[in-house]
Chain A
């Protein structure tokens, strides 16, 4: 059973701070890693994809991947109240069914 684990939170950070969200996965064959943001009552929205070890930056977001340790993280710099949402980590294997497996998500609260 392929598993993706996330701390459910909530993670509470002050406005302007760095929010750090973490995710671990069990399948060593995983090749593709994604972060989604889901506002309450809405569908998940893709915000970052990462495929190789290291960091990938996009605006205020940085995804970090460490395949040896089987973890992927998302950093949000200069956090804003509008970043308050649930962040879902998703992992996909390279072979077989290509089905993305999702974690349960981490709730982030950015308070003014």
Chain B
């Protein structure tokens, strides 16, 4: 079945530690996105990529890094520079061609600082 897979579902980070969240899609989508959601809040864009080996900062990129070495994969690293990383992280992908450009989401990764 086609879809987007995020792992892990839950992640715990110690102070000063970098952690990487995985996102893989087999929908053949060109665009991939990372959003952060805090309790009671909407989705805030961290990074996005529309083509392999290229990505752009979103509204809250500080303290995060990404790579897009393969079309299917768009991992997000939460660095120690991100001072308040506890949140629900959502990866999404979409087609850029044609009319149907809906974004589809993975199941999310809940990150907690311990």
- Tell me the bound Cα distance from A97 to B57 in angstroms: 12
Of chain A, the residue at the smallest CB distance from B103 is: A100
Chain A, interface SS category? loop
The residue from B43, B56, B94, B96 contacting A88, defined by CB atoms under 8 A apart? B43
- The smallest C-beta distance from A50 to any residue of chain B, in angstroms, reads 11
Query: Scoring A residues 80 to 100 as 1 if CB is less than 8 Å from chain B, else 0, what string do you get?
Result: 000000001010100001111
Inside 8 A of A46's CB, which chain B residues have their CB?
102-104
Residues of chain B contacted by A105 (CB below 8 angstroms): 42
In A29-58, which residues have CB < 8 Å from any B CB?
32, 34, 42-46, 49, 51
Let me know if A104 and B48 touch, CB within 8 A. Answer: no
Binds A, one of B64-72, B76-84, B105-113: B105-113
The minimal Cβ–Cβ distance linking A32 to chain B, given in whole angstroms, is: 6
Task: Give the residue of A43, A45, A97 whose beta carbon is less than 8 angstroms from that of B48.
Answer: A97
A-side interface size class:
20 to 34
Q: A49-B102, A51-B99, A97-B56 are in contact. Are A43 and B90 (CB under 8 A)?
A: yes
A97-B50 in contact given A103-B42, A104-B41 (Cβ < 8 Å): yes
Q: Assess whether B31 is interfacial by the CB under 8 Å rule.
A: yes
B100's partner among A49, A88, A99, A104 (CB-CB below 8 A) is A49
Q: Which residues of A contact B42 (CB under 8 A)?
A: 88, 102-105
Q: Does B26 interact with chain A (Cβ within 8 Å)?
A: no
The reply to whether B102 and A99 form a contact with Cβ atoms under 8 Å apart is no
Contact between A34 and B56, CB atoms less than 8 A apart:
no
A residues with a Cβ closer than 8 A to B are 8, 32, 34, 42-46, 49, 51, 88, 90, 92, 97-100, 102-105
16 A-B pairs, CB-CB below 8 angstroms? A8-B40, A42-B108, A43-B108, A44-B90, A49-B102, A90-B103, A92-B101, A97-B48, A98-B31, A98-B101, A99-B33, A99-B48, A99-B58, A100-B33, A100-B92, A104-B41
